[in-house]
Amino acid sequence: MSGRALLMWDEAVTGYDFGPQHPMDPVRLALTMGLVRAFGLDRAVDVVAAKPAGDSTLRLVHREDYVAAVKAASADPRHADQAYGLGTVDDPAFAGMHEASALIAGQSVAAAEAVWRGEAEHAVNFAGGLHHAMPGGAAGFCIYNDVSLAIARLLELGVERVAYVDVDVHHGDGVQAAFWEDPRVLTVSLHEHPRTLFPQTGWPEETGAAGPGEGGAVNVALPAGTGDAGWLRAFHAVVPELLADFRPQVLVTQHGADTHFDDPLAHLAVSLDAQRAVQEACHELAHACADGRWLALGGGGYAVVDVVPRSWTHLVGIAAHAPVAPETVVPSSWRDEVYARTRQLGPGRMTDGRWPVDFRAWTAGYDPADRLDQAVLATRRAAFPLRGLLA
């Protein structure tokens, strides 16, 4: 297996653009790649532009009639069919929507193929992670579910066990739905509690289809306001034990940056430093449990200047085995780019000033009156026995 990492990038992914008033501003992708280049990380990875996913690949997950509806809306946004979730407030139709969405999906699928075939040890597609799209509809800013397509392609290639870990603030509902009945895929999602955030799913009791799929879905519903120590405590109380038991052949992770305390669309209080700590933990788990095979994807994140570029640049650095130290000063050339593109001042360092982030390990005991511990207990009690693990 090559020790090199792949970074999937094609400038055309910034064409995934719902319009100037939409929170998912593609400038976050351009600024991330700009920061990657400013740190020279593009020389520590192999930068690859893959082809868009074709119809046969899209149909691994998506219904043929839905793909046709996306193409129709893409050719003429006036023909967007809201029955498919297209032309809505969350997912406005735009010219070229199919092409941009298929391109992002193609990057994730190609990255998965390269990791499985040993052409690269790790691969990153920070434009991906569009985890809400369903087989027959768009949802939550997501047209095609590149995550599910990458996993489905791995299964098509003969992979017998894929683990998916989603730390976006929103529940990874589309990926869970795609593999609800499939024992070859373990989906684990840590997210803000569905009582307070879209998509109102991801309860601990959602554990997979009865029968072979039972125990294949694990959900940690975190209380609004959860900060660094609680977020890391929950992650380490659930994820490492599950992965050690499941022994995935490939680890796929989704790193939505919208858990951050500055994110305008959600209510967790996580810092950039804690996000970096989870990225490092996922890297270590890939080596410990999946022979190093790791596909890391982006996702949500709507603080498009201050948070997203720094978070995903850390992800690229970790995957490249060239991590950026948290105290590092952000290059002035990138801050100039930020101002030129957005008329905003960019952040000065690659930290929120909370590194190293400390948390109390689950093995040290728990407090049944603590809301965070109650959330972890609910998950462990609902899902762990189904996998033969102690709650």
Active site residue 132: yes
What tokens appear for 100 in the block?
Answer: 């941009």
Return d(Cα 97, Cα 78) in angstroms, integer.
13
- 249: Cβ–Cβ under 8 A, 6 or more apart, which residues? 116, 159, 160, 161, 162, 290, 291, 293
> Do 299 and 132 form a contact (C-beta atoms < 8 A)?
no
Q: What order of strands is seen across the sheet that includes strand 185-192?
A: 46-48, 5-8, 122-125, 294-297, 250-254, 162-166, 185-192, 217-222
Task: Decide: helix, strand or coil at residue 84.
Answer: helix
Task: Identify which of 194, 230, 206 has the alpha carbon closest to the alpha carbon of residue 366.
Answer: 230
Q: Check 98, 132, 170, 314 and give the catalytic one.
A: 132
Rounded to the nearest 10 degrees, the angle between the axes of helix 228-246 and helix 371-383 is 10
**Distance separating the N- and C-terminal Cα atoms of the chain:** 36
Task: Identify which of 390, 389, 383, 386 has the alpha carbon closest to the alpha carbon of residue 188.
Answer: 383
Catalytic residue positions?
132
